[in-house]
Amino acid sequence: MSRPDDGIARSVHVRLVRRAQELGVDPNQLIVRYGIERFLYRLSRSPHSERFVLKGGLLMLARLGETLRPTRDADLLGIGDLSDEALGLLVRDICEAEVEPDGVTLDPDSVALAGIREQNSYGGRRITLDGRLGNARLRLQIDVGIGDVVTPEPDRLDYPTILELPAPRLYAYPRESVVAEKLHAIVHLGAANTRMKDYFDLFALAKEGAIDLERLARAVAATFVRRSTRLPDGVPSGLTDTFADEPSKRAMWRAFLDRSRLEAPDLRVVVRDLRGFLVGPLGAAARMMRER
């Protein structure tokens, strides 16, 4: 792991602390996010850029222009047959990609892989690696899903940078695939669902008005087939007034908004609007599957 120019690292660190103060966020949180951003830039400049597709919280940050959501890791989809050995080699190679000086060094020897065992996880690997920004230590986490479906085809996305530095140009989940995956989680988890960020993201994407409903129906059908999940006959329990009226769910919603420093209507309003947005594509996806 070669050391960058110490002056560049110090300058970047000062600018990040100043930017964190402007945003009212924890400087350490922003420094970690900067480290992830520069890992993504190295990915975009490497020969392996077509092997990974951006998804998850950082994609939502890029799509919706959020700056305050406390996202401390990256979510990627790995394309093709990726054994642990192959994935580790790819990530180590990305760490060593030649890029313009940005103050960050990533240690390829620190790359470690483990399984992901979380609610609604469908297989993948959790990668951790160490880096530095001058004297600041970075501990980065990248979750890589393996073998999932992306319908429609991935988009190309210029990922927004924290500072005025070259931006990663990445393959990214299209909006319709994002909605399909989050809708699948709502159906799959039912009344036990605690993933309030999915409701927020779906509501924000619906209000953005950029979703093609026919493409969404195809994405829903492909996602449910890939995950061997039956489409519901009626309204999923997670989109009912009963769910939204549950005191524990309403408390979770308020806590999520407060913790993430985000603004949104009452959970009842969000669920009602999502029901109107999603029930139609669910029905269209069910018809597509019956006609196959």
Per-residue confidence (pLDDT) for residue 121, from 0 to 100: 52
Which segments in the chain show pLDDT lower than 70? Answer: 1-5, 66-70, 117-123
Range of the domain at 18: 6-173
Q: Is 123 within a domain?
A: yes
Q: pTM of the predicted model, to two decimals?
A: 0.89
Residue that terminates a domain, selected from 149, 173, 197: 173
Per-residue confidence (pLDDT) for residue 119, from 0 to 100: 47
Residue that terminates a domain, selected from 173, 197, 213: 173
Per-residue confidence (pLDDT) for residue 148, from 0 to 100: 76
Could you report the per-residue pLDDT of 50-71, keeping only the tens digit for each?
999 999 989 998 988 766 566 7
Q: Is 14 within a domain?
A: yes
Q: Does 187 share its domain with 238?
A: yes
Residue that terminates a domain, selected from 119, 148, 173: 173
Q: Does 131 share its domain with 107?
A: yes
152 preceded by a cis bond (ω within 30 of 0): yes
Q: Is 1 within a domain?
A: no
Q: Does 98 share its domain with 24?
A: yes
Q: Does 167 share its domain with 244?
A: no
Q: Does 190 share its domain with 165?
A: no
Q: Does 54 share its domain with 145?
A: yes
Per-residue confidence (pLDDT) for residue 127, from 0 to 100: 97
Q: Does 155 share its domain with 188?
A: no
146 bridge partner residues? 78
Long-range CB contacts (within 8 A, 24+) of 185-189: 185/120, 186/236, 186/238, 186/239, 187/224, 187/229, 187/231, 187/232, 187/236, 187/238, 188/120, 188/227, 188/229, 189/119, 189/120, 189/238
Q: Does 127 share its domain with 32?
A: yes
Q: What is the number of structural domains in the chain? A: 2
Residue 89's Cβ-count burial label (10 Å; 0-12, 13-18, 19+) is: middle
